[in-house]
Each structure stands twice: as structure tokens, then as C-alpha cells.
Chains A and B, each alone.
Chain A
Amino acid sequence: MIDLWLFGIFAKFSVILFGGGYMIVPILMQTFVDEKHLLSLEAFGNLISVTQMIPGAISLNAAAYLGFMENGITGALSATFGLIIPTIFLGLIAGKLMDKWKNTTIFKGIMRGARLAALGMVIYACFIFMDMSICTAPVPWEKIGESILAQKWLINNDFRIRPVELAVAVVACFGMLKLKIPLTMLIIYAGICGAVIGKLIPIL
């Protein structure tokens, strides 16, 4: 039964994944962390990081991993095929209809809207990852809203920014944008830095 659920839910994701890449991150976060409480936000972050070290699409690797976590090998297979099979059908159909479809307003509209939504999702994913890496707690949006409305300046003691993680993020961002360092290398360097800093801190 769990397998069937896994299949169904990844099939649902598969149909709406237009922007590719990181678009699946918020969807998975809301389903598996917020709703199902299958894993903590940090563990989810580790999962996504691991899937980026492995060759293959994030969504594929994440589906296999989450499926395996839920229900072993059969779970992994169900989740993966759930992701793939709608794509197969859509791909076969789209291949035949593509020439008629390409220039319709509806198709272009879907693409345009999907790109905007995808950008919103990537920005949202940035916040999700910030919450579990750079900041020590999720950004307190409610408190910020309250403080603006009440014209008070609230200081939340739980919310700090971790300087080391912030430095790593800035360097990674710069490395990807300007130096065009491939993702796998960046993650490996970051892991090495983490290990080294971990050893150094007791000494400092």
C-alpha cells in the first residue's frame, strides 16, 4: 500500500515539473517534512545535498532515496517509476503533437508561467536551505510581520546567522557564478572545508 502511495504521489509531482532542476525541492519539502514529518528539515537538506553528488537528475535521485527510506527497494522502485511513467506518456504524446502545438498561445503561456513559477520556487528553495544551514532557526516571518505592524523592534534570541556557513555559501555562490566550478566539485570542497574546520575549532 505504501508503494502505491509512493507511486501516486511521485506521479503527481512528475506531471507538474516544468522548470526542471530544483523545482522539486519545495514540493518534496512540503510533502515529506511539513506534512508527513518523515524527516527533519536538516535531514532533508542532507538528502538533497547527497542527491547532488550523485550523477543523475535531482528528482530521480530524490525519488529513489525517499522511496527507499519509506519502504526499502520496492519503495524506491515505486517512487522512481511513479516519476518516470507519466513522463513517458507525456513524452510520447508530445512528440506527436509538438509541431501543431509549438506556436499556440496556450503552450507559450504555459511555458512562460512555468518559468516564473520555477523562479519563485528556486527563491523559496533558497530560503528553505538558508533556514537549515546559515540561520539557526527558520526565518521568523511572523515575528517580522508583527514587529512591522506593532511598530516594535522584536529581537528573537533563537535566530542568529552562522558566520562560517554564510562564508561557505557566499564562496559557493561566487564559485558557481563567476568561476563556473562544477557542482560536484563545489560540494566536495565544501565537505573538505567542513571536516578541516571541524578539526580546527577545538584547537582555536
Chain B
Amino acid sequence: MSYPYRLWLLFFTFFKIALIVIGGGLAMLTAIEETFSKKYTFLKHEDILDLVILTQTVPGLIAVNAALFVGNKVAGLAGALIAVFGVVLPALMIITVIASFFPNLDFQDKTVIHIFSAVRACVTGVLIATAISFIRTNIRTKWDIVFVIIFTILLLAHISPIVVILASVPIGCILVHRSKKKPLTVFTSSETAHLHERNNHD
């Protein structure tokens, strides 16, 4: 496949993905696999796995990181940059259109007020749902709970979130370090004793 066509494919595919794919990381990875691994064999299966890990660990937007990785594999540095451009362009275009309309929306109109009030309430509910599912998947030790509460109180006291994030780095390192020395103490030792016995028999 010729180089210019590869660049075009990258741009167009990521443009489409940014426009259509809703549902975040996993849906996007599926779409990427469809085009770049199944339809055209630019990416091998190991590459897809690397991509999954990459999107979980590198800070920043998943879409941009994915575009960088795939673009680089397909067509080098230029490919990476043009893929990122394709991913970002739809948002810019749509926002420009919407933001031009917004000042024209009459915010004194009762219906508009009610619509937006309901939408804000909906987002509140969604945030609470996000928090709950986050808690389910991330809180394991009692120290997790302690530090989350401390961070939340700091934020409510109008401490800059940047400070909180920077503070979380050493705290996280200490927690990981301590958890290496002894196993996670979620169960009491009597509950784990029978597990040790079974392992010894195998």
C-alpha cells in the first residue's frame, strides 16, 4: 500500500472513529482492530495487546495515545501526527458550530432553563454512578478509603486539584511499597489459613 494512501487511511479512519465511536476505550480499540488488523494487516495481535496496555497506563487522552501508537506503526512519525489530527478534528468542528449557536440560545426562556436544569441533574446522577463503580473496582484496603476521604476533604476545602494529584504520587508509592512487604490484609489470617493448606497439597 502506498505511503500517501496509508496517511489518508489513518486520517480518515481516526476521523470516523472520533465521530462515531461512543463508549470510550474499548469500543475504540475494537474499531481500530477492525480496520488496521483485520481488514488491512498493519497490526499484529501482539500490537493490539500492547495498545490495550498502553491506553491504560499512559496519562492523557486515550484516543490521542491510540492514534499515536497506530499511526506510528502504520506510517512512522508523520502517520502518528496525522492520525492525531484526524482524531481531534471532529471535536473542534462540532464545538465551533455549537459554540457559535450558544449565545443565541435564549436563557431567559423557561423551557431552555428547565431542559438544562434537568440535564445538569442527569450529569450529577451519572457522576454519582461513576463514583460508585469506581469505588467498587478500586478500593481494596482500608488505606485506600482513608486517603480517598482525605483527598476529597482537601478538594472541598478548595485546595488546588493539582496539589492533590502531586501529593497522591508519594502516597501511592508508599502504599505500593508497603503492600509488597506484606500481602493485602483484606481477609483475616484464619480465613486465609485453609488456602495455604490447599496450596501445600498441590
Contacts and interface: CB of A to CB of B under 8 A. Distances in A.
Interface residues of A, number: 105
Given A49-B120, A177-B129, A83 B61 contact: yes
Which interface residue of B94, B133, B167, B170 has the most chain A CB atoms within 10 A?
B94
Contacts of A20: 61-62
B156 A127 contact: yes
Contacts of A119: 131, 134-135, 138-139, 148, 151
A21 B176 CA distance: 24
B60 A17 contact: yes
B151 A187 contact: no
A124 B128 CA distance: 10
A54 B101 CA distance: 15
A190 B61 contact: no
B148 A116 contact: yes
Interface in B28-80: 53-54, 57-65, 68-69, 72, 80
Q: What secondary structure prevails in chain B residues at the interface with A?
A: helix
Nearest to B173: A109
Interface residues of B, number: 88
A52 B187 CA distance: 40
A16 B59 contact: yes
Interface of B: 18-23, 53-54, 57-65, 68-69, 72, 80-81, 84, 88, 90-92, 94-96, 98-99, 102, 110-111, 113-135, 138-139, 144, 147-148, 150-152, 154-156, 158, 160-162, 164-177, 180
25 contacts: A12-B162, A17-B60, A55-B19, A55-B90, A61-B94, A90-B58, A90-B60, A91-B60, A92-B72, A95-B68, A98-B54, A116-B168, A118-B134, A122-B130, A122-B134, A123-B131, A126-B127, A130-B124, A134-B124, A168-B121, A169-B124, A177-B133, A190-B122, A195-B115, A197-B118
Query: Ordered nearest first, which 7 A-B pairs have the shortest CB separation?
Result: A113-B172, A194-B118, A109-B173, A172-B125, A120-B151, A198-B114, A87-B60
